[in-house]
Every structure is written in C-alpha cells, then in structure tokens.
Amino acid sequence: MSAQLSDFPITRKWPARHPDRIQLYSLPTPNGVKVSIMLEETGLPYEPHRVDFGNDDQLSPEFLSLNPNNKIPAIIDPDGPDGKPLALFESGAILVYLAAKSGLFMPQDVGGRYETLQWVMFQMGGIGPMFGQLGFFHKFAGKDYEDKRPRDRYVAESKRLLGVLDQRLEGRQWIMGDEYTIADITTFPWVRNLVGFYEAGELVEFDRFVNVRRVLDAFVARPAVSRGLTIPS
C-alpha cells in the first residue's frame, strides 16, 4: 500500500484541509519566508500551517516526527518523486527541491546550477548564522552583556559578508546576473531582517553597501515576495 499524507504523525496536530497540496509548517522568520516566497513565486499549490514557538509547537512529538532538529520550515509534498510523499526540512534543501519540481529559479545549465548552489550555501553557512548572532547580541538577551566583544565580532563578520555580497552584485541585477534565482530567495530575507527587525543597519554601516541595498529594494518590490513575507499569518 502506498504512503499517504495521513501516514505522517504531524498531520494529527496540523490536519490538512487540502491533502493534495504541499503542506508547509513554518513561521514568517527569515528562514521560514524563504519557502513561502518560493511557493508564491512558483505558483505551486500549498497549505501553510503556523508552528507557534510561543506554545513550543516545534518541540511537540508531532513536529519532531517531521524535523528532529525542531526548526522551521519543513514541508511534506504529497506528490513527491515517483508520486510518493516527500518530507523535507532545512530551508536550503527545500528551495533546491522546489526549484527542481517547478523548473523555475535555477539555471538550466549545469555550471550555472552549481554556481547558484554555491551562493545558497554561502547564505546557509555564513549570512544566516552570523546575522542571527548579531541579532542576538544587538537586539535580544545578548544586548545586556557589558562585554561588547562578542557583538563586535559578529558586526565585523556581518560587514565582511555584506562586502562579499556587494562585490558580487556589482554590475549584476541579481546574484546570478539577469536571472532571479533561489540564491536571491535564500539571501535577501536575511538582509531585510538584519536592517529591519534586528535594527542593525547603522551598526553594520549598511548604507555603504549600495548594490546590496539596490537589490534588496528590488526583491521586496516583487509581489510574490510581499505575499510570502507574511505567511503563515
């Protein structure tokens, strides 16, 4: 008997009203909105479910059955490869999968594909973790530490990463050139968060990075981005 959506324990806590659609378990955080933006951009049918951290939803047995790493976002595609359901966590992996499924936002040539993946990993390994630490030490509990060396370490590293990104965007419309890709979808929610929610624009001298600012403005102006940034509501 083939697997179906109801076989996944997570659907007991978050029942699927549309079991034929991709099920998204998320919050509108920088990592979460990557996937809602991608789903809005591709037009793939999906059903969002809010994972409420205030209620420790991410630590529930049902959520952990899908992502043992207790982080959002996660998805189940009821129509995965070979027509079987596929469950995935890690936002970067989900973006790569959705690009393959839709045939969108990933270069068709092999070299371009790997170059795009390189920039996705640059975000996953650098921009996300470093900007997140800066947010902790600038806006959240870490701001109360008298010793500012940890904060300043992440300020310096965030500036360095913005410099790398700014240089890449010199003379380019998007990270990969004229073509908007998952490299942009994975990166710019974090840039937006750094200068918006984390209020760290002045700290990292964001105005210096004119190319990053230009592309961030173009990114948030996209209708699918505007919608994805608020999902799940």
Sheet of 86-89, strand order: 46-50, 22-26, 74-77, 86-89
Instruction: State the pLDDT at residue 3.
Output: 75
Interstrand relation of 46-50 and 22-26 (parallel, antiparallel or unpaired): parallel
Tokens found for residue 18: 């549309």
Q: What distance in Å separates the CA atoms of residue 201 and residue 192, rounded to the nearest whole number?
A: 10
Q: What are phi and psi of 177, to 5 degrees?
A: 110, -130
pLDDT-based confidence at residue 2 (cuts at 50, 70, 90): low
* Interval 143-184: pLDDT, tens: 999 999 999 999 999 999 999 999 999 999 999 999 999 999
Contact at 8 Å (CB) between 88 and 94?
A: yes
> Is 141 strand, coil or helix?
helix
Q: What distance in Å separates the CA atoms of residue 159 and residue 137, rounded to the nearest whole number?
A: 15
User: Residue 75: in which H helix or E strand, if any?
Assistant: strand 74-77
* Interval 59-93: pLDDT, tens: 999 999 999 999 999 999 999 999 999 999 999 99
Domains of the chain from N-terminus onward: 9-104 (3.40.30.10), 110-228 (1.20.1050.10)
The neighbour count for residue 44, using CB atoms within 10 Å, is 16
User: Residue 159: in which H helix or E strand, if any?
Assistant: helix 149-169
Contact at 8 Å (CB) between 106 and 113?
A: yes
Q: What distance in Å separates the CA atoms of residue 65 and residue 121, rounded to the nearest whole number?
A: 26
**Dihedral angle sign, alpha carbons of residues 173, 35, 107, 43:** negative
* Interval 15-31: pLDDT, tens: 999 999 999 999 999 99
Q: Evaluate if residue 1 carries a pLDDT over 60.
A: no
* Interval 102-127: pLDDT, tens: 999 999 999 999 999 999 999 999 99
Contact at 8 Å (CB) between 119 and 184?
A: no
